[in-house]
């Protein structure tokens, strides 16, 4: 009877002591990623700055733990779609973008802790595609919409909570330095507008450790 109690106690204790993040681990996180632009643009044809809408898509991160405290992470996602407009005209265009981001991360706590807060810093590349003026924009004489791809820095802070040896919950917030030139024609005349998107990205999801 005593031996059974000891075995039961060990079975209850050891899962709680399982390492959360340790050197050599690889894990994938997936969940909802909300992109909230915070920047603005130069004046557009005397009508003020561009407004860029929020958008939520599936976010994915792939992380390799180089040590118990240092990780390397790649952010990917399904394409984000933003409506672009002016205060006086409403929405005039839709743009799509993908922002793959490579981060170096530092995890503060010992690998045995279930809570794993971390910070990261890295580089972002944002590519824009399938950018089109809608009917409102075309009726205003706008055409040939193009956005220049962007390179910039990125920063993040987050927290994992280890549920068991494989599954975890994750919440994180990112900031990305995204600047672009918006090029278009208005009544046949070419224009180029410097635009800062600079989004804050909120991520909430789950992860699996291999």
pLDDT by residue (tens digit) across 80-110? 999 999 988 899 999 999 999 999 999 999 9
φ/ψ (deg, to 5) at 78: -70, 155
Domain ranges (residues) in the chain: 2-209
Alpha helices in the chain (DSSP H): 2-17, 135-139
Give me the pLDDT at residue 112, please. Answer: 87
CATH for 2-209 is 2.40.160.20
Please return the burial class of 27, using the count of CB atoms within 10 Å of its CB with bins 0-12, 13-18 and 19+: buried
Residue 200 pairs in a beta bridge with 36, 175
Residue 135 pairs in a beta bridge with none
CA Rg value for the chain? 22
3 in helix, strand or coil? helix
Counted residue by residue, the chain has a size of 210
How far does CA 149 lie from the centroid of its chain?
A: 16
Give me the pLDDT at residue 105, please. Answer: 98
* Distance of alpha carbon 51 from alpha carbon 22, whole angstroms: 43
Please return the burial class of 24, using the count of CB atoms within 10 Å of its CB with bins 0-12, 13-18 and 19+: exposed
pLDDT > 50? residue 170: yes
φ/ψ (deg, to 5) at 192: -135, 120
CA distances from 195 to 39, 50, 65, 69, 101 (A): 8, 8, 36, 37, 20
* Distance of alpha carbon 43 from alpha carbon 129, whole angstroms: 23
pTM of the model: 0.85
pLDDT by residue (tens digit) across 111-165? 889 999 999 999 999 999 999 999 999 998 999 999 999 999 999 999 999 999 9
Task: Place 21 in a pLDDT band, splitting at 50, 70 and 90.
Answer: confident
């Amino acid at each position: 009877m005593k031996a059974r109690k000891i075995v039961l106690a060990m079975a209850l204790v050891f899962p709680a002591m399982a390492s959360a993040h340790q050197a050599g681990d690889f894990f994938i996180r997936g969940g909802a990623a909300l992109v909230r632009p915070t920047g603005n643009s130069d004046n557009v044809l005397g009508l003020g700055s561009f407004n860029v809408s929020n958008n939520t898509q599936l976010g994915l991160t792939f992380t390799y733990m180089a040590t118990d405290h240092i990780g390397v992470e790649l952010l990917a996602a399904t394409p984000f779609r933003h409506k672009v407009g002016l205060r006086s005209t409403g929405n005039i265009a839709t743009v799509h973008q993908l922002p793959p981001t490579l981060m170096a991360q530092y995890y503060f706590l010992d690998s045995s802790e279930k809570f794993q807060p971390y910070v990261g810093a890295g580089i972002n590349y944002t590519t824009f595609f399938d950018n089109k003026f809608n009917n409102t924009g075309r009726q205003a004489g706008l055409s040939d919409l193009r956005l220049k791809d962007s390179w910039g820095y990125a920063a993040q802070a987050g927290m994992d909570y280890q549920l068991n040896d494989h599954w975890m919950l994750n919440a994180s917030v990112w900031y990305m330095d995204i600047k672009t030139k918006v090029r278009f024609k208005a009544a046949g005349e070419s224009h180029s507008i410097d635009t800062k998107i600079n989004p804050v990205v909120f991520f909430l999801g789950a992860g699996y450790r291999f």
